[in-house]
Structure 1
Amino acid sequence: MKKNEFEDLTRMDVSRETFERIEVYVELVKKWNPVINVVSRRSLEAIWARHVIDSVQVFLCVKELGSWLDLGSGGGFPGAVIGILSNQASVDSRVTLMESDQRKSAFLRTVSRETSCGFKVISKRIEQAEPQGADVISARALTDLKGLFAFCERHMKPSGSALFPKGATWKKEVTEAQREWKFDFDPITSITEPEAVILKIKGIERA
């Protein structure tokens, strides 16, 4: 167990058991990365700060989990971390990861099995998958807000909320999206990148 990383996540209310599951996940990323490029080689060197903590903070933006859908999950950040954390937070939560790449989907199913978390993986394109009716939708580095809102229109409950990590240009994305969509948003400052935010969005509808 890595002491510094454990202390960082303990301050974020992550239990020892959950931390150990995340460790299993991180080792799987390192094992699979040369084959399917789960994350970039550079970011692999800072995987805890760059990916794990970044994912945990997304999870902490929601108090009631319900059904959670992570779109374009790739290597599982934040979706797989959310799947692991949801086991600590609530036995009733349902976490689904949607990823069209078959090799990455196989990796995500391996993570689900070897961490004993049981999150579901759907290997389909977002616009072709059956509507999911999710309470919460997340997506990281997938597309701009306009594209994300179209995905939410298909897969999120009208009463649901969306969580989208965005970089320093997030205000520009919001302005552009407001030309086509109505929505309420709360920018939550990222703890890993001071100029970045997690946009917590509700009430999405076409303008």
Structure 2
Amino acid sequence: MASPAPSAGFFPESGFVSRETWDRLRLYADLVRKWQPSINLISPKTLPELWDRHVLDSLQLFRLRPDPLTWIDMGSGAGFPGLVTAICLQDLGGGWVHLVESNNKKASFLRQVIVKTGARASVHALRMETMPGALTGIDAISARALASLSDLLDYAAPFAAENPALEMWFHKGLDYPGEVRSARDHWCFDLIEHQSLARDGSAILQLSKLSKRN
């Protein structure tokens, strides 16, 4: 079953990505459907909602930060949101996404999507703990459905120490206020909450100026 056309109601403004990018995103979604029976890329119960639940939810990140940055996408899994960002970066002709995924089968899937779509990305079969030193010159970090906010900040901290202007963008569900309170026990950071267009009560958290609380 081919992916549907983009939902005009999901993003009120039109034209923030090209028609060619929409076509590449639909190809990506079709590849997820093709590989899903052999690799558990996403939760099977969300497969019928693949376009809205995963692709368009991830696309919100590029809508918020449509700039040619160098990203790390931590724990990429099926590539949400990092591979969506990488596909969108083709419109800009700049920027790059380092997709970090330690599962070799999922890493192979990500590489196949890059070949098919021309996404501005590379895949690194690394564990999060080994990213510092292996990846440098990072402007921003993203993650979705990976770990608690406190754990994500632990992974991001070495990159924030290297680049004080580092941005962190994390998709979070309904319980995100509690995660923010818990993270502030150990970390200082500036925070902007972007309410999700895809799921009521969810948010994309934009963090910066990360430092360890004394």
Instruction: Identify the TM-score tier after normalising by the shorter chain.
Output: over 0.9
Unpaired stretches in structure 2, ≥5 consecutive residues: none
1:153 aligns with 2:165: no
1:188 aligns with 2:208: no
Counterparts of 1:87 and 1:168, CA distance in 2: 32
- 1:65–1:136: 8 Å Cα contact kept in structure 2? no
Q: Report Cα offsets for 1:114-133 as digits up to 9, x if no partner.
A: 00124111001010132434
Corresponding residue SS for 1:76? coil
- The TM-score normalised by the length of structure 2 is 0.90
- Correspondence for 2:116 among 114, 117, 126: 114
Counterparts of 2:120 and 2:179, CA distance in 1: 34
Question: 1:66 corresponds to which residue?
Answer: 69
Using the TM superposition, give the Cα deviation of residue 14 of structure 1 relative to its aligned residue in structure 2, in angstroms: 2.4
Using the TM superposition, give the Cα deviation of residue 154 of structure 1 relative to its aligned residue in structure 2, in angstroms: 2.3
- 2:4–2:51: 8 Å Cα contact kept in structure 1? no
Question: 2:182 corresponds to which residue?
Answer: 176
From the superposition, tell whether residues 39 and 2 of structure 1 become closer, same or farther in structure 2 (CA, over 3 Å).
closer
Structure 1 residue runs of 4 or more that deviate by more than 6 Å after TM superposition:
none
From the superposition, tell whether residues 43 and 6 of structure 1 become closer, same or farther in structure 2 (CA, over 3 Å).
same
- 1:68–1:95: 8 Å Cα contact kept in structure 2? yes
Larger deviation, residues 150-159 vs 43-52: 150-159
Number of equivalenced pairs: 206
* Cα RMSD after superposing both structures: 1.8
What amino acid does structure 1 have at the position aligned with 2:136?
A: Q
- Correspondence for 2:204 among 198, 201, 204: 198
Corresponding residue SS for 2:36? helix
What amino acid does structure 2 have at the position aligned with 1:196?
A: S
Q: How does 1:11-22 map to 2 (within 5 A)?
A: 11=14, 13-22=16-25
Counterparts of 1:127 and 1:200, CA distance in 2: 22
Using the TM superposition, give the Cα deviation of residue 65 of structure 1 relative to its aligned residue in structure 2, in angstroms: 3.1
Counterparts of 1:118 and 1:64, CA distance in 2: 13
Unpaired stretches in structure 1, ≥5 consecutive residues: none
Question: 2:146 corresponds to which residue?
Answer: 142
1:47 aligns with 2:50: yes
